[in-house]
């Protein structure tokens, strides 16, 4: 009776592993992607809601300053993303081998290490704020300095969140990250309303909303991992630093760290080009990015599920099944892209107007923002097809424990294709060179990266997975 009930409800880590290995691939891909897609939708609502509160309560200059600061924050956060990507690949392969003790041991090691690293890197934000605002637009400089300096308080929680997501996704529990994201969205709305709308704290309120939200989420994540009873409950009892485990984590994560850092450095330099067109253009670009975040995160989130399913199948020696999963993931990505285009292109004028309800903003400024943001949105929307396939291919590479390929692809997409395109066309296209560069780089990078994956020996992923076993004496 008990065994029958277990078979009906594939909820444990072991059962989900069997489902990934032996179930209908498209059905399992879709089933595991649903929580990830829902999480992506919710996560995209966070910058969208932030942008609405910032524009309508704090003003377009404050909103532009926050948008300008995001690539700088993400450059610091690149370390957590790199560690998270490496951890997901290693944990996915440990899961594929059915090594539950290995998952618990490695997860504890990476959780402690990443949290410590996040605390250590927090002061970097203050230094970055000081260095970057010396020669900025006088309207933006004090706002950017305040935002980046105070955001140092949030950095450790970003590291914890990245590792939490990796742990849950790699063990076939993407719904856990979805629950966390829903709570975060609700908290952000509550605290944005408090600090920005009610208290009118401006740029300080924007940081405090993030800090208050992540503090509560951090407590919840600790409870979920270390206190809540479960098959993979972690424990700090008897903890000893495992140099071999951390060395492997860092070595595998470094390419993704560099890729993410270089990508966001590219975004920062692109923002420098946007700033040269003035604060209004910066705000229009930020509005378009906030709205389009949902269009980008939904199709690209399939790549996360591809990583999990490919890594588990490769570790189990099922190379052909892993390839089948990748191709079906691309099909699912294209379906989502078509839906996003059909929904967002007709709605773009209405969505942009939602950000232009600040009574202190002149009609002339509103019209200027509108004239840039709407066409920018539509160009961004067209580029999600290339980006979605790009992320699906990247997910397959990570599932094969090949994180060097995403490093090369990231540099190619942002620096060689997009930034160079902008530099060569900005005189002719003006501010719109930013948006056309996005479309051009995503499509070309997706084509190049896809061809690279097709020429890759997938059996090498199995050879890499053989080195996952860690010394836990």
- Which comes out higher in pLDDT, residue 331 or 401? 331
Is 433:284 a contact under the CB 8 Å cutoff?
no
What pLDDT score was predicted for residue 7?
Answer: 45
Dihedral angle computed from the Cα positions of residues 91, 93, 97 and 101, in that order, rounded to the nearest 10 degrees: -20
CA distance 251 to 430: 41
Report residue 63's pLDDT band, with 50, 70 and 90 as the boundaries: very high
Closest among 10, 73, 105 to 264, alpha carbons compared: 73
Q: How many CA atoms lie within 13 A of 245 on its CB side?
A: 25
Could you tell me the pLDDT band of residue 464, with boundaries at 50, 70 and 90?
low
Whether 8 maps to a domain, the answer reads no
How many C-beta neighbours within 10 Å does residue 123 have?
12
Percent of the chain with pLDDT over 90: 47
What is the rounded end-to-end Cα distance, in angstroms, of the chain? 38
Going by C-alpha positions, the residue among 286, 261, 342 that lies closest to residue 83 is 261
What is the helix (H) or strand (E) element at residue 370, kind and residue range? helix 363-382
Query: 27-36, 332-341, 342-351: which has the minimum mean pLDDT?
Result: 27-36
- Reported for 203-206, long-range contacts at CB under 8 A and 24+ positions apart, including other chains, are 203/58, 203/62, 203/65, 203/66, 203/143, 203/146, 203/147, 204/146, 204/150, 205/58, 206/50, 206/54, 206/58, 206/62, 206/66, 206/147
H/E run at residue 452: helix 432-454
The answer to the question of residue 6 being in a domain is no
Rounded to 5 degrees, what are φ and ψ at 301? -70, -20
Burial label for 177, CB within 10 Å (0-12, 13-18, 19+), is buried
Distances in whole angstroms, Cα of residue 123 to Cα of each of 129, 254, 373: 10, 21, 35
CA separation (Å) from 184 to 36, 39, 119, 151, 157?
Answer: 15, 11, 21, 17, 12
Per-residue pLDDT, 208: 97
Question: For the residues of 43-64, what is the DSSP string, one character each?
Answer: HHHHHHHHHHHIIIII-HHHHH
pLDDT in tens, 93-114: 788 777 888 889 888 998 899 8
Highest averaged pLDDT of the listed ranges 8-12, 394-398, 443-447: 443-447
Task: pLDDT band for 179, please (50, 70, 90 cuts).
Answer: confident
Segments in 12-99 forming alpha helices (H): 13-22, 25-53, 60-96
pLDDT of residue 473: 40
Given a cut of 90, whether residue 391 has pLDDT beyond it is yes
76 domain-assigned: yes
Within-domain flag for 5: no
Q: How confident is the model at residue 13, as a pLDDT?
A: 66
Kindly tell me if the per-residue pLDDT of 367 is higher than 90: yes
Long-range contact pairs involving 117-122 (C-beta distance under 8 Å, separation at least 24): 117/79, 117/80, 117/83, 117/159, 118/80, 118/155, 118/156, 118/157, 118/158, 118/159, 118/160, 119/156, 121/76, 121/79, 121/155, 121/159, 122/152, 122/153, 122/155, 122/156
454 inside domain? yes
Which pLDDT does position 260 carry in this prediction?
A: 81
| Residue 6 pLDDT | 40
Instruction: Classify residue 18: in a domain, yes or no.
Output: no
Question: What are the distances in angstroms from CA 363 to CA 283, 288, 353, 367, 470?
Answer: 15, 19, 12, 6, 63
Give yes or no for residue 337 having a pLDDT over 80.
yes
Structure tokens that stand for 209 in this block: 């909303």
Percent of the chain clearing pLDDT 70 (strictly above): 94
Q: Are 426 and 278 in contact (CB under 8 A)?
A: no
Number of domains within the chain: 1
Task: Quick: pLDDT tens for 238-283.
Answer: 788 889 889 988 888 887 788 788 888 899 989 989 988 989 999 9
Residue at 15 is within a domain: no
Residue 344 has pLDDT above 90, yes or no: yes
CA distances from 349 to 114, 237, 355, 365 (A): 42, 56, 11, 16
Residue 16 lies inside a defined structural domain of this protein: no
* Token output for 324: 């089948």
Domain of residue 258: give its range. 23-465
d(C-alpha 151, C-alpha 122), whole Å: 8
183, with CB counted inside 10 A (0-12, 13-18, 19+), is: middle
403, 85 in Cβ contact below 8 A? yes
1-33 pLDDT, tens digit per residue, is 444 444 443 446 677 777 888 778 888 888 888
Closest to 305 in 3D by CA, of 392, 387, 389, 386: 392
Residues 137-146: pLDDT tens digits? Answer: 888 999 999 9
List of residues 6+ apart from 290 with CB closer than 8 A: 47, 48, 50, 51, 67, 355
Mean per-residue pLDDT over the chain, rounded: 87
pLDDT at 31: 85
CA distances to 203, 292, 380, 388 from 385, in Å: 35, 13, 10, 5
Query: CA 208 to CA 107: how far, in whole Å?
Result: 30
């Amino acid at each position: 009776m008990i065994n029958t009930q277990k078979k009906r409800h594939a909820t444990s880590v072991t059962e989900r592993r069997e489902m990934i290995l032996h179930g209908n691939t498209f059905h399992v891909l879709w089933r595991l992607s649903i929580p990830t897609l829902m999480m992506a939708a919710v996560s995209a609502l966070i910058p969208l809601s932030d942008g609405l509160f910032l524009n309508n309560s704090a003003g377009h200059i404050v909103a532009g300053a926050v948008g300008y600061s995001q690539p700088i924050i993400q450059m610091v956060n690149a370390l957590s993303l790199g560690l998270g990507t490496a951890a997901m690949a290693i944990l996915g392969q440990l899961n594929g081998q059915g090594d539950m003790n290995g998952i618990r041991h490695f997860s504890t090691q990476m959780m402690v290490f990443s949290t410590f690293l996040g605390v250590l890197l927090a002061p970097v934000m203050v230094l970055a704020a000081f260095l970057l605002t010396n020669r900025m637009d006088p309207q933006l400089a004090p706002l950017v300095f305040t935002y980046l300096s105070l955001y140092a308080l949030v950095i450790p929680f970003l590291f914890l969140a990245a590792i939490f997501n990796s742990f849950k996704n790699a063990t076939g529990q993407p719904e856990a990250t979805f629950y966390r994201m829903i709570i975060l969205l609700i908290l952000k709305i509550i605290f944005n309303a408090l600090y920005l709308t009610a208290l009118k704290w401006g740029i300080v309120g924007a940081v405090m909303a993030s800090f208050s939200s992540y503090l509560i989420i951090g407590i919840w994540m600790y409870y979920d991992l270390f206190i809540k009873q479960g098959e993979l409950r972690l424990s700090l009892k008897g903890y000893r630093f495992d140099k071999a485990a951390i060395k492997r984590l860092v070595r595998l994560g470094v390419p993704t760290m560099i890729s993410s850092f270089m990508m966001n450095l590219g975004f920062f330099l692109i923002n420098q080009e946007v700033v040269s067109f003035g604060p209004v253009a910066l705000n229009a670009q930020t509005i378009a990015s906030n709205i389009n975040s949902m269009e980008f995160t939904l199709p690209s989130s399939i790549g996360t599920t591809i990583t999990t399913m490919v890594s588990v199948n490769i570790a189990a020696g099922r190379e052909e099944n892993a390839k089948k999963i990748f191709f079906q993931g691309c099909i699912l990505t294209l379906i989502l892209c078509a839906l996003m285009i059909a929904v967002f292109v007709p709605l773009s004028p209405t969505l942009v107007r939602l950000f232009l309800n600040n009574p202190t903003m002149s009609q002339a400024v509103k019209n200027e923002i509108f004239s840039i943001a709407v066409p920018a949105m539509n160009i961004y929307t067209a580029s999600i097809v290339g980006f979605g396939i790009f992320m699906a291919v990247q997910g397959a590479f990570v599932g094969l424990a090949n994180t060097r390929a995403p490093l090369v692809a990231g540099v190619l997409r942002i620096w060689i294709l997009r930034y160079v395109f902008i530099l060569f066309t900005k005189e002719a296209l003006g501010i719109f060179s930013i948006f056309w560069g996005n479309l051009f780089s995503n499509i070309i990078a997706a084509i190049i990266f896809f061809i690279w994956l097709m020429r890759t020996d997938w059996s090498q992923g199995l050879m890499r997975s053989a080195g996952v076993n860690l010394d836990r004496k």
